[in-house]
Amino acid sequence: MKEHINKIKQMDIGKVIENVSLKEHTTYKVGGIASCFVYPTNTKKLIKLLKYIKQNKIKYKVLGNGSNTLFSDNTYEGVIIKLDRFDEIEVKDNIIVVGAGYNLMKLASFAMRKSLAGLEFASGIPGTVGGAVYMNAGAYKSDMGYIVKRVKVLTPDYRVITMTNRELDFHYRTSFFQKNPGYICLEATIGLTKGKKEELYKVNQERKKRRLETQPLEYPSAGSVFRNPEGLFAGKLIEDLGLKGLIRGGAQISNKHANFIINKGNAKASDIKELIEFTQEAVLDKYNIKLKVEQEFVNWE
């Protein structure tokens, strides 16, 4: 892998960092060491990198803020691609065109300052725009599928195309990208509506207060672990089983919200995965419901 890293450095793709702790790049604050992180400066450089990676059969992963990802404790022998440089933003009337690497919470704040409504649900979601589109991130009965008009996409054969909302197949916590992992979101066009800054600020503050009261934000986590089954709440099912507070190593099912697993301090990724799997089995045994995990497991093979 060292030889490949040296070659990538010589290719003038962008910043390359070796032996990076994934704990610093995931909201769970767990994970092993990644061989290298690469920050391409533009689409042309990204394509150049992907061609080299695929030609040499190197493992790779495009990573946003790591807010819905559980890496194993093992070394990731491959390339982590970060699109942080894809962060341009342009606003015209009620339309925002924004790069995939732009921070979603920062974008929600930006929209509020511009008196644009529709992104309030995202003010507490610590992801990137690209990651949010990939996951169809949402809260408060809204999600990216309601506001994304189209997305600029890099295809597996290195074409840059534009996909419309209908083509993106947004559904509850899923999208076209999850079923077609070779496609990469580069930029999103978001349609909002005119609002009043004071009212948007009030909604934002009320929801921030509610999150602080109901979610264990003082600990590293990845937000809701499980998707809500239709007509039910995953957290309620878990709480009714008496699993709040259950500990495995340094990880715990939160006492504040049963659908959160928190890193109480020095948790291993395996501690979190063990709690996830135990909870899944307990809910299945009691209710005959297979909870779907919102987080993506990476490097567990």
Pick the catalytic residue from 175, 187, 254, 294. Answer: 294
Tokens of residue 266, six digits: 């020095």
Question: Is residue 224 annotated as a catalytic residue, yes or no?
Answer: yes
C-alpha triplet 246, 239, 270: angle, nearest 5°: 35
Pick the catalytic residue from 173, 221, 248, 254. Answer: 173
Pick the catalytic residue from 67, 224, 248, 254. Answer: 224
- Name the nearest CA neighbour of 262 among 274, 278, 277, 247: 247
Q: Which residues pair with 98 in a beta bridge?
A: 89, 188
> How far from 210 is each of 119, 203, 213, 217, CA to CA, in Å?
17, 11, 5, 11
Question: Is residue 173 annotated as a catalytic residue, yes or no?
Answer: yes
**Secondary structure (DSSP) of the chain:** -HHHHHHHHHTT-EEEEEEEEGGGGSTT----EEEEEEEESSHHHHHHHHHHHHHTT-EEEEESSSTTEEE-SS-EEEEEEE-TT---EEEETTEEEEETTSBHHHHHHHHHHTTEES-GGGGG--SBHHHHHHHT-EETTEEHHHHEEEEEEE-TTS-EEEEETTTTT-BTTB-HHHH-TT-EEEEEEEE-EE--HHHHHHHHHHHHHHHHHHS-TTS---SBSBPPPTTS-HHHHHHHTT-TT-EETTEEE-SS-TTBEEE-SS--HHHHHHHHHHHHHHHHHHH---PPBSSEEES--
Tell me whether residue 1 is exposed, middle or buried, using C-beta atoms within 10 angstroms of its C-beta: 0 to 12, 13 to 18, 19 or more: middle
Active-site positions read: 173, 224, 294
